């Protein structure tokens, strides 16, 4: 059985073997890269679909382009909705606790996380997904809703891109329906977030109750011809697999996969 320490050491060994420290030192921030006209228009249309008001959509877009942090108060309520599909993953193997991760639903009954959370089907078998593992508005702990995973159909696990997609049981261990937690649609369109924009990340750091980080998650660069974006963020164990969202629009900018996990703050290279 691999303990949490063993998994960390194995991940660190892979990072050293890939010479990530050297590669990351050479990363140049695309500070001068401006959004293309196509990107700007696509973002305007996406925002307009959310607010149903062309003028309000244009105002939101201008604020993003100018680095203005003002947002409608509805942004907070939208964030609560976007957080429902995000869960804590409790990793168990051979009857013992191995560690924690974060995952999120990307389709009915389908969950995405990192490959270094679910390295193989054996790490899925005994693990559970805990939704609503969070606190209420009074700071009181809410009872989580726990679901098991299915091994049929077989999990899709990519070591190269560091992602895993697994099937979740439709009913919790106490009979609650999974569908109440909805899911986050993955948009394959590149350039959803602008360079210099702050992303919003919902996560379970160190396996703790659900938390959110709205600053210090700056998009630094992205490549046009490969599936990665780079952004800088504070990082702790347990956050692996959490979705980074575009500001003003609760839509995942990437799947937070293929991520390096050094001492915070960290550069992250993530699949779009």
- Facing residues of 96 across strands? 93
For residues 150 and 170, state if they share a domain. Answer: yes
Query: What is the number of structural domains in the chain?
Result: 2
Does 112 map to a domain?
yes
pLDDT at 31: 55
pLDDT at 271: 44
Name 138's Cβ contacts closer than 8 Å, sequence gap at least 6.
none
CA distance 237 to 4: 10
Does 22 map to a domain?
no
For residues 216 and 172, state if they share a domain. Answer: no
pLDDT at 125: 94
Does 160 map to a domain?
yes
Does 2 map to a domain?
no
- Parent domain of 256: 28-69+190-271
For residues 130 and 197, state if they share a domain. Answer: no
Q: What CATH number should be reported for the domain holding residue 131?
A: 2.40.10.10
Q: Name the domain boundary from 155, 181, 207.
A: 181
pLDDT at 253: 60
pLDDT at 234: 65
Q: Name the domain boundary from 147, 163, 181.
A: 181
Report residues of the chain scoring pLDDT below 50.
1, 255-272
């630094």: which residue's tokens?
A: 220
**Other beta carbons less than 10 A from residue 2's beta carbon:** 16
For residues 255 and 177, state if they share a domain. Answer: no
Q: What does the angle CA 201 – CA 205 – CA 210 come to, to the nearest 5 degrees?
A: 65
Does 114 map to a domain?
yes
Q: Name the domain boundary from 181, 199, 234.
A: 181
pTM assigned to the model: 0.74
For residues 39 and 113, state if they share a domain. Answer: no
For residues 91 and 130, state if they share a domain. Answer: yes
Which pair of structure tokens corresponds to residue 8? 């960390």
Does 159 map to a domain?
yes
Name 147's Cβ contacts closer than 8 Å, sequence gap at least 6.
128, 129, 130, 131, 168, 169, 171, 172, 173, 178
């Amino acid at each position: 059985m691999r303990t949490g320490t063993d998994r960390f050491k194995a991940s660190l060994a892979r990072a050293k073997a890939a010479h990530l420290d050297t590669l990351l030192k050479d990363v140049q921030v695309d500070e001068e890269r401006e959004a293309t006209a196509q990107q700007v228009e696509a973002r305007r249309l996406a925002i307009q679909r959310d607010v149903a008001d062309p003028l309000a959509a244009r105002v939101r877009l201008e604020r993003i382009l100018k680095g203005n942090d003002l947002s409608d108060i509805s942004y907070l309520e939208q964030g609560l909705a976007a957080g429902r599909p995000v869960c804590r993953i409790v990793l168990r193997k051979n009857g013992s606790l191995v560690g924690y991760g974060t995952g999120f639903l990307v389709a009915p009954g389908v969950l995405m996380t990192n490959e270094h959370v679910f390295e193989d089907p054996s790490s899925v078998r005994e693990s559970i997904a805990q939704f609503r593992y969070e606190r209420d508005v009074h700071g009181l702990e809410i009872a989580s809703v726990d679901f098991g995973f299915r091994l049929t159909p077989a999990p899709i696990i990519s070591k190269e891109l560091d992602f895993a997609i697994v099937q979740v049981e439709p009913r919790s261990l106490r009979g609650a329906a999974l569908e109440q937690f909805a899911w986050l649609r993955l948009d394959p369109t590149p350039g959803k977030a602008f360079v210099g924009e702050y992303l919003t990340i919902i996560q379970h750091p160190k396996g703790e109750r659900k938390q959110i980080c709205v600053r210090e998650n700056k998009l630094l660069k992205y490549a046009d011809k490969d599936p990665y974006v780079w952004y800088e963020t504070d990082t702790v164990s347990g956050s692996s697999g959490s979705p980074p969202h575009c500001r003003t629009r609760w839509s995942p900018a990437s799947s937070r996969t293929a991520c390096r996990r050094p001492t915070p703050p960290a550069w992250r290279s993530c699949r779009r």
